[in-house]
Structure 1
Amino acid sequence: MPIELKMPALSPTMEEGTLARWLVKEGDKVSSGDLLAEIETDKATMEFEAVDEGIVTKILVAEGTDGVKVGAVIAMIQGEDDQGAVDKGDAQPLPLAGGEQVVSTPQPVKPTIKTPLPQAGGAGGGPATPQSNDRVKASPLAKRIAGNKGLDLTTISGTGPNGRIVKADVEAISGEGRSAVVAELDRGIRRETPAPTQAIDTDIPHEVVKLSNMRKTIARRLTESKQTVPHIYLTVDVRLDALLKLRGELNASLEARGIKLSVNDMLIKALALALVQVPKCNVSFAGDNMLQYARADISVAVSVPTGLITPIIVDAANKSLSKISTEVAELAARAKDGKLQPHEYQGGTASISNMGMMGIKQFDAVINPPQAMILAVGAGEKRPYIVDNALAIATVMSATGSFDHRAIDGADGAMFMKIFKELVENPLGLVA
């Protein structure tokens, strides 16, 4: 049988993608680690690589094809074990649709993502066991990632050819804050409640704009959230004067290091600390179970040309403000270039969305399941405010928490908002 090169799952929840560009052509010889194509997922354009050596004999899916299902055959490759037979003309050709022929081969090859994951600072188990990992049937990239993340490959089931472990298998286990239970819950919701489609008949002059995979996913996810998650909204007004003063002092001391804290960086830290202090809000609803998270991973909403993406600050409560600022800037830049890896935007235990820089005073954000809350931050503006029992002018910001009422009671959400307000109005706690 010919080797079937199949559309890879580049994330735990990916169901289909766009084959954006082939990086090889028919007749090319590929080796383990060579880039084969660029795949556009719902969040980014990613490269994937070959696991074994072989020759590309037939490309079955053309560049630019949308809606290619995960597992669909996109090309045929002649494996290295039969290349001697191919060179000598000994192998038997097999017919394909359209009359083309390829040479029979012993086993399929499955691609994985090219870029290795960075070493994690939170998720993962104990030290890796190199001896056992060396004996496991896994791609070189999967072994390297498992070593970096301290994972034992003997505990992972492979989905590659003949049970071979590939990168997607390692990513699904490590999760970077997203457990297998949550990922499966997410996939189940997506299958059960697809976003509705509606044809529009109009005489108004218009242009039909094709939706990107990201925009399709945003439409589906927001529809799911509003249909399946009972939202409760709680708003507090927060005085920012002390935080702004501290920010100015910190930026003066960090200037030599080229770091400039934003208000949002400090709010991320306040959100994470509030989740630690009110753990009943750091949860996910999972049917008959509740997932109680042991750390606060904050998803930060970033607007990109194709929609919205939420890179994650892992364990934000235990990171310095300067570290948070550096990570946010780096992740946001790569998000806008479409270069984030799945573990950098999938997961998170709560989200923050800040529209204050655009002058928005207050808004209610939509929860991103399986998370159970999101904080919507408005603009800081001068308002009449009671300070020390006297009317004064203060810089005030409105913040609204959206909570999944299945998982978080109103009293717990109110306590969370109270703690968040106290942390922002007494900001020395953010650097303690």
Structure 2
Amino acid sequence: MPTPIKMPALSPTMEEGTLAKWLVKPGDTVSAGDIMAEIETDKATMEFEAVDEGTIASIEVEEGAEGVKVGTVIAMLAEEGEDVEEAAKAAPSGDEKPDEKQGAAEPEAKSEPAKAEPRESAEPARVAEDDGTKAPAAPKDDSGARIKASPLARRIAEQKGIDLSTLTGSGPNGRIVKADVEGAKPGAAPAKDTAAPAPAPAKAATQGGDLDAPYEAQKLNNVRKVIAKRLTEAKQTIPHIYLTVDVRLDALLKLRGELNKSLEADGVKLSVNDLLIKALARALQRVPACNVSFQGDELYQYTREDISVAVAAPSGLITPIIRDAGRKGLAQISTEMKELAGKAKDGKLQPHEYQGGTASLSNLGMFGTKQFDAVINPPQAMILAVGAGEQRPHVIDGALGVATVMSATGSFDHRAIDGADGAQLMEAFRQLCENPMGLVV
């Protein structure tokens, strides 16, 4: 019996994805573990591996297709000894909802709260409800036979007013694919009882709506959509309280220089950010009341400091995690952070590398930003925002002098963390930065 290959849930929050690239074609033989496609999730572009062996009978969703629901059949796999052409015919019609044969769609999956231990594997994401953008029902020709066409081709044909019965498919077994429809001219179809819907008007790149300024519309990628959704939720539902301290960095910068000299032979070069990650983790050890998250009727108290670090990637902001940062050495933190940041910028982070975390750090100092308030990353209860270190007038041993000073602002979920506890954390962070030997013991 042919096996349908479905759009996988590659992260707990994934409801739909973009099929960025197919690495196989109909007729190719695959084995378990072979890379079949690249899929853009709500966090990164990830490789999709085969779990069974067989022959690719058909491709049901063309590469480049956006908004493909989790559970949608994207290809058909013929098992050993099966007829490939027959397996291709077994593909579900485009008017079926994802996982329709397995029962009604369940409610939308919700992301689980961060826990002290990372989840080794996530439950398969449940199928989200249809949003009205599915492909139209499979058309039929004059004899009543079903016209073979991919869901994407049917959707494009409906938008352009093209009669699929007038086209010749170039796909497997004469299947009509995206390229066939895009090359056809609208209006060439014979008249029907009901007129085909007019194509949606293109947005003019001249007037910016009420702003009355030239603009060009750009589609949001999956990462940007998730950022918008989660941060809107955070600002609407989490009562933020902000606490700022000024931190003298001279001793920390001196220690960094000495450590880098001693680590040069090992190829390790510590950044200021590496030391700040460690300082936040050690501060959470000293003030465990801030290493928590609000969970309705419960408060989760974490026993490990997993620090999510904001990284600017081409697709948008993402936060890889340094796990158990309070117990790791500075050299290990530095090595892990460089590796994670590189993978984040290449879109190659794996789910376990960015899911979870008990607190976050966002550093905009390298851009010259002096001070800012960051938005909490739920379900975490705090995030530390650090600005640039700069020469400022500062009281040193009772006398006015000049010192390298950095402003750091903690954003706290006031449902979980009282102002006094947040102030203790900020003071512990300041002391660790100004007396940095506590970061190397």
Instruction: Using structure 1 for the length normalisation, give the TM-score.
Output: 0.75
Partner of 1:321: 330
Taking a change above 3 Å as real, the CA distance of residues 36 and 386 of structure 1, as seen in their structure-2 partners, is same
The alpha carbon displacement at 1:86 in A equals: 2.9
- Residues 176 and 343 of structure 1 are in contact (CA less than 8 Å); yes or no, is this contact kept in structure 2? no
Partner of 1:79: 79
Partner of 1:17: 17
Partner of 2:238: 229
Aligned AA for 1:420? F
1:20 & 1:310 partners in 2: Cα distance? 22
SS at match of 1:65: coil
Q: 1:340 aligns with which of 349, 367, 384?
A: 349
Note the alpha carbon deviations across 1:240-281, whole angstroms, 9 max, x for none. Answer: 111111111111111111111111110100000111111111
1:302 & 1:216 partners in 2: Cα distance? 17
Partner of 2:291: 282
Note the alpha carbon deviations across 1:176-207, whole angstroms, 9 max, x for none. Answer: 84469xx99xx99x99xxxxxxx945532111
Kindly report which structure 2 residues correspond to 1:142-157, keeping only aligned pairs within 5 A, or say none: none
SS at match of 1:260: coil
SS at match of 2:251: helix
1:308 & 1:411 partners in 2: Cα distance? 30
SS at match of 2:420: helix
2:45 & 2:77 partners in 1: Cα distance? 23
- Residues 175 and 343 of structure 1 are in contact (CA less than 8 Å); yes or no, is this contact kept in structure 2? no
The alpha carbon displacement at 1:382 in A equals: 0.9
Partner of 1:105: none
- Residues 177 and 349 of structure 1 are in contact (CA less than 8 Å); yes or no, is this contact kept in structure 2? no
SS at match of 1:51: coil
Structure 1: runs of 5 or more not aligned: 99-109, 111-160, 162-171, 192-198
The alpha carbon displacement at 1:348 in A equals: 0.6
Q: 2:227 aligns with which of 212, 218, 226?
A: 218
- Residues 57 and 88 of structure 2 are in contact (CA less than 8 Å); yes or no, is this contact kept in structure 1? no
Kindly report which structure 2 residues correspond to 1:33-432, keeping only aligned pairs within 5 A, or say none: 33-80=33-80, 83=81, 85-86=82-83, 94=90, 97=93, 177-178=117-118, 200-432=209-441
- Residues 313 and 344 of structure 2 are in contact (CA less than 8 Å); yes or no, is this contact kept in structure 1? yes
1:179 & 1:287 partners in 2: Cα distance? 21
The alpha carbon displacement at 1:174 in A equals: 12
Residues 70-79 or 407-416, more deviating: 70-79
- Residues 17 and 42 of structure 1 are in contact (CA less than 8 Å); yes or no, is this contact kept in structure 2? yes
The alpha carbon displacement at 1:26 in A equals: 1.4
The alpha carbon displacement at 1:217 in A equals: 1.1
The alpha carbon displacement at 1:90 in A equals: 9.9
1:308 & 1:93 partners in 2: Cα distance? 42
**Bigger Rg, which one:** 2
Taking a change above 3 Å as real, the CA distance of residues 15 and 361 of structure 1, as seen in their structure-2 partners, is same
Aligned AA for 1:42? D
2:251 & 2:88 partners in 1: Cα distance? 78
SS at match of 1:57: strand
- Residues 115 and 302 of structure 2 are in contact (CA less than 8 Å); yes or no, is this contact kept in structure 1? no
SS at match of 2:67: strand
1:215 & 1:97 partners in 2: Cα distance? 31
Aligned AA for 1:355? L
Moved over 2 A (4+): 89-98, 172-180, 199-203
Over the matched positions of the two proteins, sequence identity in percent amounts to 69
1:220 & 1:174 partners in 2: Cα distance? 18
SS at match of 1:317: helix
Partner of 2:7: 7
Aligned AA for 1:285? F
The alpha carbon displacement at 1:97 in A equals: 3.9
Taking a change above 3 Å as real, the CA distance of residues 317 and 91 of structure 1, as seen in their structure-2 partners, is closer
Q: How much is the aligned-residue C-alpha RMSD, in angstroms? A: 2.9
The alpha carbon displacement at 1:305 in A equals: 1.6
Taking a change above 3 Å as real, the CA distance of residues 294 and 95 of structure 1, as seen in their structure-2 partners, is closer
2:219 & 2:322 partners in 1: Cα distance? 32
Taking a change above 3 Å as real, the CA distance of residues 277 and 179 of structure 1, as seen in their structure-2 partners, is farther
Structure 2: runs of 5 or more not aligned: 103-111, 130-207
The alpha carbon displacement at 1:79 in A equals: 2.4
Partner of 1:31: 31
SS at match of 2:331: helix
2:244 & 2:322 partners in 1: Cα distance? 24
* More helix as a share of residues: 1
SS at match of 1:13: coil
1:290 & 1:329 partners in 2: Cα distance? 33
